Structures are given as C-alpha cells and as structure tokens.
Amino acid sequence: MSHVSETALEQINRRAIPVHATESFWTAQDGHKIRRIDWPGLETGGTPRGSILFFPGRGDNYEKYLETLEEWHRAGWRVTAADWRGQAGSGRLGNDAVTGHVDDLATWIDDLQSFWTDWKAATPRPHILSAHSMGGHLVLRGIAERKVDPDAMVLSAPMLGFVGSIPSAIGHLAAKLMCAIGDPKRPAWKWNEKPGVVPAGRQALLTGDDDRYEDEQWWRNERPELVMGPGSWGWVERSYASMRCLFAPGLLESVDTSVLLLGTSNDKLVSMRAIEEAAERLPAGELVRFGEEAQHEILRDTDAVRERAKTAIDEFLDRVALQK
C-alpha cells in the first residue's frame, strides 16, 4: 500500500514562506547581494530526486511562484529560486525604485553563470534549470552560450520575442533611437503616478485567476521592496538585441539539452510564434501549447491551466530523472 505524507496533503499557503524554506542572500563576484530561497529536499530523509533552480521574469519576484516551488519540493526535489540583480529584494540599477533597468542583459548572464556554478556544486543531480518569461530568455541564452550546463530545462512563456506586428529589427531600431534622444534609464511606458498602484487591466495580461493575481498585490503590500513597474528604454533596447542574437543561425540548433517550453497563443506580452520557432529549432525541444484558456503567467493561472502545465512538467521531469 502506498502512503502519502501529511505534508503532501496540506493546502499550500501562497501568502507565506513555507516552513521548510530558507531565505538568504548570495553574493555576486562584484559584491552585489542577490536574494535566494531554498528548500532542502525530502523532509523524510533520503536522497532528493534531484535539484531545480528557478528564476522569475522581468519585474518579478519568487514570492509569486511559491505555490509551484512548494509543489516541486513536495514531489521530492531540492528547490532554489533567486531574484535577478536589480529586481525585487535585490537592489535597483536605475534612477528610481520602480523602473526596471540594466546596462546589458549580459550582466544577468554573468550572475547566472556564477550562481549556477556555486549552486550546482552544492546540490544533487539531475540539475534542472527553470524560468519564466524574461528569465526563460536569459537561461536559454545562458545554455546557448555555454555559461550553464543543466541536465534539462523548463521554460514558462519564455521572452523570445515581443507581441506585436512590428518586425524585431524595426522595434530594435526604434528603441535605439529612444535611448539616443534621452536617458536610457527612463521608463519606456506609463505605469501609475501613485507608487505601488498597478494599472487597471494588468490582470488581463497575466492570469485568469483572481485569487492568484491578488496574491501578488498582497506580497507587494507586505514587502514594498518587491514593487516594480515599467522597464527602461535601455532594457527594451538590450532585450531586442539579446533576442535577435539568440535566434542567430545555428545557435539554438547547438543546444542538445532537453528543453520543455510552455506557451499560449493568448499571450499579450511575449510572442508565441517565437516560442514555436525555438521549440522547432532546439534539437531536444518540446512544446506544450495553450490557447485562449491561458494568459502569460501559466504557472499562476487557473487551476485547470496549472493542472495541465503541472502534468506536462512532472512527466518531463520524471523522464529526466530516470535518464540521470
């Protein structure tokens, strides 16, 4: 007879740090401190199934993904998540507290490489690298540039292109112009004049689940340092440049690692067509395609959407664990 642990049956509180998780800081090579959160692995002893490292998207924080991270922990994985430099509780790189800026996405790739090296040395195999949106772009670029070497990757709505009819070359040129005529650190779009107040209609871009959307605002009230609004023109320009480089001939084809991509044709932020192209070009790429039922934040959407995503991810991870 199989036995299910009491912890596995407990409902997950999305508005609390799980009791088994520990928050701390990792120090980058230049001394910049970056937040992290770690789950140790199996609570009942024994060897974890492996280790998962997760990164959120632009303007994001790991608090938004506690439900998914805790589920992985309960499934027997050693789990870690971390901020990107200049986001959430890991400082700022722009002129104010709410505009997301970075000098170049290579700065984040360098942090990823260093963090990965330290994390991999301290955790059991197989090593899984997972990320959402901008995070998905960065980790895919990281493996394409041989900066990280995971056993497998899980990418939720990776930012591989922006939604819109404007060709990337034209969009990139426009962003370069905006950086040339003004401060690249200035916000690229309007947010709200009231600090901490999110614009109306934002939920429709992210999730169809009211409660999970409200979780984010709860955490912003509880931890004001998590609040972040628009990206800078510098971020927009550097993102265009990075995405165009990632799709250079032969680069994605050089990645032989198994990569599971989740995307929705209803995404109003990142390009589903770009995700489809990446899945086609990656030698071991697999795509789980959602439609009108899902928004950008697939891992924070309705129960039905999440259940399908969870099942696909679990089956993928089961195969990876068996192979390793």
Asked whether residue 66 is assigned to any structural domain, the reply reads yes
Q: Are 97 and 130 in contact (CB under 8 A)?
A: no
Tell me the torsion sign for CA atoms 143, 313, 299, 219: negative
Average pLDDT for residues 5-18, to the nearest whole number? 81
**Where is average pLDDT lowest: 3-17, 98-112, 221-235, 281-295?**
3-17
Q: How far is CA 36 from the centre of its chain?
A: 14
pLDDT at position 193 is: 41
Whole-number Å distance between alpha carbons of 157 and 275: 8
Please check the confidence at residue 2 and state whether its pLDDT lies above 80: no
> Exposed (0-12), middle (13-18) or buried (19+): which is 200, by Cβ within 10 Å?
exposed
Instruction: Band the pLDDT of 35: cuts 50, 70, 90.
Output: very high
Average pLDDT for residues 135-159, to the nearest whole number? 98
Q: What percent of the chain has pLDDT over 70?
A: 93
The first and second tokens of residue 176, run together, are: 């370069």
Asked whether residue 85 is assigned to any structural domain, the reply reads yes
Tell me the torsion sign for CA atoms 130, 133, 134, 136: positive
What order of strands is seen across the sheet that includes strand 33-39? Answer: 22-27, 33-39, 77-82, 50-55, 127-132, 152-156, 258-264, 285-290
What average pLDDT is seen over the chain?
Answer: 93
In 3D, which of 286, 290, 285, 284 has the Cα closest to residue 307? 290
Q: What is the pLDDT of residues 242-301, one digit of tens each?
A: 999 999 999 999 999 999 999 999 999 999 999 999 999 999 999 999 999 999 999 999
Asked whether residue 240 is assigned to any structural domain, the reply reads no
Q: What is the pLDDT of residues 69-84, one digit of tens each?
A: 999 999 999 999 999 9
The more confidently predicted of residues 4 and 279 is 279
**Where is average pLDDT lowest: 5-14, 77-86, 142-151, 196-205?**
196-205
CB atoms within 10 A of CB 288: 19
CA separation, residue 122 to residues 53, 65, 66, 258, 322 (Å): 12, 23, 22, 22, 21
Residue with the two structure tokens 């990107």: 84
Asked whether residue 123 is assigned to any structural domain, the reply reads yes
Asked whether residue 2 is assigned to any structural domain, the reply reads no
Please check the confidence at residue 7 and state whether its pLDDT lies above 60: no
Q: What is the pLDDT of residues 183-240, one digit of tens each?
A: 999 999 987 544 444 565 788 889 999 999 999 999 999 999 999 999 999 999 999 9
- Write the DSSP assignment of 123-148 as a string of letters: SPSSEEEEEETHHHHHHHHHHHTTS-
Asked whether residue 176 is assigned to any structural domain, the reply reads no
- Distant-in-sequence, close-in-space partners of 322: CB < 8 Å, separation ≥ 6: none
Q: Are 133 and 269 in contact (CB under 8 A)?
A: yes
Asked whether residue 153 is assigned to any structural domain, the reply reads yes
Asked whether residue 182 is assigned to any structural domain, the reply reads no
Label the pairing between strands 152-156 and 127-132. parallel
What is the domain-level CATH number for residue 300?
3.40.50.1820
Domain count, the chain: 1
Amino acid present at 20: H
Instruction: State pTM to two decimals.
Output: 0.94
- Write the DSSP assignment of 230-286 as a string of letters: PBBHHHHHHHHHHHHHHTSTTTGGG--SEEEEEEETT-SSB-HHHHHHHHHHSTTEE
Is the bond preceding 249 in cis, omega lying within 30 degrees of 0? no
Instruction: Band the pLDDT of 28: cuts 50, 70, 90.
Output: very high
Domain span at residue 97? 16-165+195-230+246-323
Please check the confidence at residue 125 and state whether its pLDDT lies above 90: yes
**Alpha-helix runs per DSSP H in the chain:** 6-9, 66-74, 105-121, 134-144, 168-181, 202-206, 210-222, 233-246, 272-281, 303-323
- Distant-in-sequence, close-in-space partners of 240: CB < 8 Å, separation ≥ 6: 162, 168, 171, 172, 175
